[in-house]
Amino acid sequence: MVLTDTHTHLYSEAFDEDREAMMQRAFENNIQRMFVPAIDSSYTESMLDLEKKFPKNVFLMMGLHPTHVKENYLEELAHVKGMLESRKFIAIGEIGIDLYWDKTLLQEQKKAFRTQIQLAKQYQLPIVIHCRDAFDEVFEVLESEKGDGLFGIFHCFTGNKEQAKRAISYNMKLGIGGVVTFKNGKIDQFLKAINLKHIVLETDSPYLAPTPYRGKRNETSYLTEIVAKLSEIYQVSEEEIASITTENSKAVFGV
């Protein structure tokens, strides 16, 4: 059984004390494939270091996270472009719109999102979308950019069934993580109506730890809790969940 974590911040400072042991726990739980999103230029070096240490297991994205769209966002986008020119990345992410923390830079977030979608099309790469309190705004951008060149993952999907179907209509898989295990997470109530071919697994570690670790530091090995929950929801074996979602991740990322 091979499991794929399509979204994990392995370079986070939260793992500085025990990164090697944390990675080993993931391997022991059959998690062999880990896709690592970017945040901003300050993390690029640590991402590259991580890939060097685990070249067969770690796959890097490049992008500017919406909460890190600041006044200097054009410089950050220039860094993204420069990195894409210099080497291969697996996706553009994580990108999108976040109105939970700050609404003042909405227009800049939209511009950064659109620019990075267009970069993804240029390089024929998938996008990995971050959306928080911003479904309407994200869908507005996707609607204007839809087409064959637009595809990827709607990371940490927390919307309703209608929003799930709309996300899928833009060639997006739904990234399902710890929220599916929460009592008040709600997505477990309709997820069975969404075909497994549209689902990929993620932890978003070190954030959003699944039950029973909720409120603690998350890590990739906890992906097994999400697999167990999806096995229960879909009434299929954990092996089948692992197999289907790993194939789905290959369809998105091409590896």
Whole-number mean pLDDT of the chain? 97
- pLDDT band for position 185 (50/70/90)? confident
What's the CA angle centered on 47, arms 74 and 64, to 5 degrees?
25
Q: What is the DSSP letter of 80?
A: H
Measure CA 190 to chain center: 21
Q: Could you tell me the pLDDT band of residue 199, with boundaries at 50, 70 and 90?
A: very high
Mean pLDDT of 32-49: 98
Which carries the bigger pLDDT value, residue 102 or residue 239?
239
- The model's pLDDT over 80-130, given as tens digits with 9 standing for 90+, comes to 999 999 999 999 999 999 999 889 999 999 999 999 999 999 999 999 999
Q: Which of 4-13, 108-117, 181-190 has the lowest mean pLDDT?
A: 181-190
Query: Do the bridges between strand 91-98 and strand 152-154 make them parallel or antiparallel, or are there none, so unpaired?
Result: unpaired
Residues 228-254 have a mean pLDDT of 98
Query: In this structure, what CATH number is given to the domain that contains residue 219?
Result: 3.20.20.140
Write down the pLDDT at residue 163.
97
Instruction: Tell me the sheet residues that pair with 62.
Output: 92
**Average confidence (pLDDT) over 231-242:** 98
Which range of residues forms the domain containing residue 60?
Answer: 3-253
pLDDT band, very low/low/confident/very high, at 184 (cuts 50, 70, 90)? confident
CA-to-CA distance for 84 and 103, rounded, in angstroms?
29
Question: Are the beta carbons of 128 and 253 closer than 8 angstroms?
Answer: no
pLDDT exceeding 70 applies to what percent of the chain? Answer: 100
Show the tokens assigned to 69. 């769209």
Token pair for 72: 């200097």
Q: Please, what is the angle between helix 73-86 and helix 106-122, to 10°?
A: 10
Q: Where would I find the H helices in the chain?
A: 19-28, 44-53, 73-86, 106-122, 135-145, 161-169, 223-234, 238-253
Residue whose token pair is 């507005």: 140
pLDDT at residue 250 greater than cutoff 90: yes
**Residue 243 has which token pair?**
């197999």
- Closest-CA residue to 181 (of 230, 130, 132, 124): 230
Q: Is the pLDDT of residue 43 over 90?
A: yes
- Tell me how crowded residue 149 is: count the other CB atoms within 10 A of its CB: 14
CA 113 to chain centre: 15
Q: For the chain, what is the domain count?
A: 1
* Strand 3-5 relative to strand 91-98, pairing: unpaired
